[in-house]
């Protein structure tokens, strides 16, 4: 599933190749992906405008439109990607990270399309149809972004309640952008059991978690996604911790499958 680093790659694609191009057509006919809008509502709001700036907060991204128009919100869901195709056949995208590879020029899974005056297109390509496009998304409800969260914000996110620390890291209202794989990497790097309650974290634990969060997010953005992080290849039955060789353990925390080192993350 796309997490913060993958969404940042998609945002960067729009920033590089989708801004400042006049929109002359919009295919918003998929009423599930474009809910709650009726077909034509997004088209009527955007035709004649340009996308002028691309933003991201956590796993959500949105674009400002020109002439004080509405924001275009795009959520990748579990399998979507942004593809920008130009009239000459060239494509820009954030990399294939879904199951089943798409050949260049295969747009059968385009669920939403902007057509530009120069003949280019920006598409949400989504085989599983779990992405979302809407106007003026409510991003203000999200917590601080995991890539830029301050120490004070991070401490506040972990300060209240008795939830398992992994569940709190996955809570997008607390810290936006951390998904299941990223959370496992952060907790492994900090040597903290995913089931430890947040009210039992020491100040040193919280400091290690913040450092691990910053390092994991930075590395995944640089290297192309959460699948490049050090722990991820070892999250399987029979896997061993890449740091000390101890067996990896699987458990459910907050309803999510979690992998952790039996030795260094025992408590």
Residue 69 CB-half CA count within 13 A: 22
Tell me which residue of 91, 118, 119, 88 sits closest to 107, measured CA to CA.
91
**Claim to verify: residue 194 and residue 206 sit in the same structural domain:** yes
Structure tokens at 76: 């990748």
Q: What is the pLDDT of residues 73-129, one digit of tens each?
A: 999 998 889 999 998 878 877 665 444 556 777 788 999 999 999 999 999 999 889
As a whole number of angstroms, the distance between CA 184 and CA 261 comes to 10
Radius of gyration of the chain (CA): 20
Alpha-helix runs per DSSP H in the chain: 4-17, 41-46, 151-157, 165-170, 180-190, 203-223
Q: Are 185 and 216 in contact (CB under 8 A)?
A: yes
**Claim to verify: residue 119 and residue 181 sit in the same structural domain:** no
**Burial tier of 207 (Cβ tally within 10 Å: 0-12, 13-18, 19+):** middle
What is the CATH classification number for the domain harbouring 190?
1.10.8.50
pLDDT of 54 strictly over 50: yes
Domain boundary among 107, 140, 173: 140
Q: Which domain holds residue 97?
A: 4-140
Sequence-separated (6 or more) residues with CB below 8 Å from residue 37: 28, 31, 134, 135
Q: Are 122 and 72 in contact (CB under 8 A)?
A: no
**Claim to verify: residue 207 and residue 218 sit in the same structural domain:** yes
**Claim to verify: residue 82 and residue 186 sit in the same structural domain:** no
Domain boundary among 123, 140, 157: 140
Q: What is the pLDDT of residues 149-207, one digit of tens each?
A: 999 999 999 998 999 999 999 999 999 999 999 999 999 999 999 999 999 999 999 99
Judge if pTM exceeds 0.75: yes
As a whole number of angstroms, the distance between CA 145 and CA 4 comes to 9
- Kindly report the average pLDDT of the chain as a whole number: 93
Q: What is the pLDDT of residues 232-241, one digit of tens each?
A: 999 999 999 9
């Amino acid at each position: 599933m796309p997490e913060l680093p993958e969404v940042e790659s998609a945002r960067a694609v729009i920033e590089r190749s989708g801004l400042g191009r006049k929109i002359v057509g919009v295919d918003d006919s998929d009423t599930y992906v474009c809910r709650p809008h009726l077909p034509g509502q997004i088209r009527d709001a955007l035709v004649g405008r340009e996308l002028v700036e691309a933003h991201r907060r956590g796993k959500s991204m949105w674009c400002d439109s020109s002439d004080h128009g509405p924001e275009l919100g795009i959520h990748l869901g579990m399998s979507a990607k942004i593809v920008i195709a130009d009239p000459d056949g060239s494509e820009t995208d954030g990399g294939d990270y879904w199951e089943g590879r798409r050949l260049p020029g295969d747009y059968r899974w385009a669920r939403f399309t902007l057509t530009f005056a120069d003949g280019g297109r920006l598409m949400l390509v989504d085989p599983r149809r779990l992405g979302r496009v809407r106007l003026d998304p409510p991003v203000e409800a999200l917590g601080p972004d995991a890539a830029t969260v301050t120490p004070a914000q991070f401490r506040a996110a972990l300060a209240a309640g008795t939830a398992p620390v992994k569940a709190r890291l996955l809570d997008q209202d607390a810290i936006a952008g951390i998904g299941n794989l990223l959370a496992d990497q952060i907790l492994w790097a900090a040597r903290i059991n995913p089931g430890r309650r947040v009210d039992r974290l020491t100040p040193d634990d919280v400091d290690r978690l913040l450092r691990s969060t910053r390092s994991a997010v930075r590395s995944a953005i640089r290297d192309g996604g959460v699948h490049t992080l050090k722990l991820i290849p070892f999250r399987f039955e029979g896997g061993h911790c890449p740091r000390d060789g101890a067996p990896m353990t699987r458990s459910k925390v907050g309803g999510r499958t979690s992998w952790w080192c039996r030795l260094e993350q025992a408590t």
